[in-house]
Amino acid sequence: MTTISAPLGIGDLLRDWRQRRRLSQLDLSNEAEVSARHLSFVETGRSKPSRELVLHLAEHLDVPLRERNSLLMAAGFAPMYRERSLEDHDMDPVRGALDMILAGHEPYPSVIVDRLWNLVTANAAALSLFTVGVAPALLEPPVNVVRLGIHPDGLGSRVKNLAEFSEHLLVRLQRQLAVSPDPDLAALYEEVLTYPGVSQGSPVLTDPTTLLFVPMVFARPDGQELSLFSTLATFGTALDITLAELSIESFFPADPATEAFFRQI
Judgement on whether residues 123 and 249 belong to the same structural domain of the protein? yes
How far apart, in whole angstroms, are the C-alpha atoms of residue 177 and residue 43? 23
- 84 occurs within a structural domain: no
Judgement on whether residues 68 and 144 belong to the same structural domain of the protein? no
Per the structure, how many domains does the chain have?
Answer: 2
- 1 occurs within a structural domain: no
pLDDT at 209 over 60: no
Report residue 180: phi and psi, to 5°. -150, 100
- 81 occurs within a structural domain: no
Judgement on whether residues 260 and 131 belong to the same structural domain of the protein? yes
Closest CA to 227 of 253, 250, 249, 209: 253
CB 9 within 8 A of CB 45: yes
How far apart, in whole angstroms, are the C-alpha atoms of residue 80 and residue 122? 30
In what side-by-side order are the strands of the sheet with 119-122?
119-122, 110-113, 247-253, 225-234, 216-219
Judgement on whether residues 44 and 121 belong to the same structural domain of the protein? no
Judgement on whether residues 107 and 224 belong to the same structural domain of the protein? yes
Closest CA to 55 of 36, 35, 80, 34: 80
Please state at what angle helix 51-60 crosses helix 65-74, rounded to 10 degrees.
Answer: 150
Confidence band of 6 (pLDDT split at 50, 70, 90): low
Which CATH number is 223's domain given? Answer: 3.30.450.180
Report residue 190: phi and psi, to 5°. -65, -35
Strand partners, 244: none
Judgement on whether residues 186 and 150 belong to the same structural domain of the protein? yes
Beta-carbon contacts of 64 under 8 Å, excluding residues fewer than 6 positions away, are 179, 180, 244, 245
CB 186 within 8 A of CB 238: no
Judgement on whether residues 58 and 122 belong to the same structural domain of the protein? no
Judgement on whether residues 93 and 70 belong to the same structural domain of the protein? no
Over residues 128-138, the mean pLDDT reads 95
Confidence band of 201 (pLDDT split at 50, 70, 90): low
pLDDT, position 4:
44
Over residues 241-246, the mean pLDDT reads 93
- 83 occurs within a structural domain: no
Range of the domain at 101: 89-264
Confidence band of 207 (pLDDT split at 50, 70, 90): low
Closest CA to 168 of 190, 146, 195, 196: 146
Judgement on whether residues 26 and 155 belong to the same structural domain of the protein? no
- Residue ending a domain, choose from 74, 97, 115: 74
Q: Please list the alpha-helical segments (H only) found in 217-265.
A: 241-244, 256-264
Judgement on whether residues 53 and 156 belong to the same structural domain of the protein? no
Confidence band of 7 (pLDDT split at 50, 70, 90): low
Using one digit for the tens of pLDDT, what is the confidence trace for 168-188? 899 889 989 988 889 999 999
Using one digit for the tens of pLDDT, what is the confidence trace for 44-61? 999 999 999 999 999 999
CB 43 within 8 A of CB 15: yes
- 209 occurs within a structural domain: yes
Confidence band of 210 (pLDDT split at 50, 70, 90): very low
Which CATH number is 57's domain given? Answer: 1.10.260.40
- 5 occurs within a structural domain: no
Judgement on whether residues 56 and 118 belong to the same structural domain of the protein? no
- 32 occurs within a structural domain: yes
Over residues 258-263, the mean pLDDT reads 95
Judgement on whether residues 102 and 230 belong to the same structural domain of the protein? yes
CB 61 within 8 A of CB 21: yes
CB 108 within 8 A of CB 262: yes
- Residue ending a domain, choose from 74, 104, 128: 74
Over residues 120-148, the mean pLDDT reads 96
* Residue 208 vs residue 135, higher pLDDT: 135
- Residue ending a domain, choose from 41, 74, 107: 74
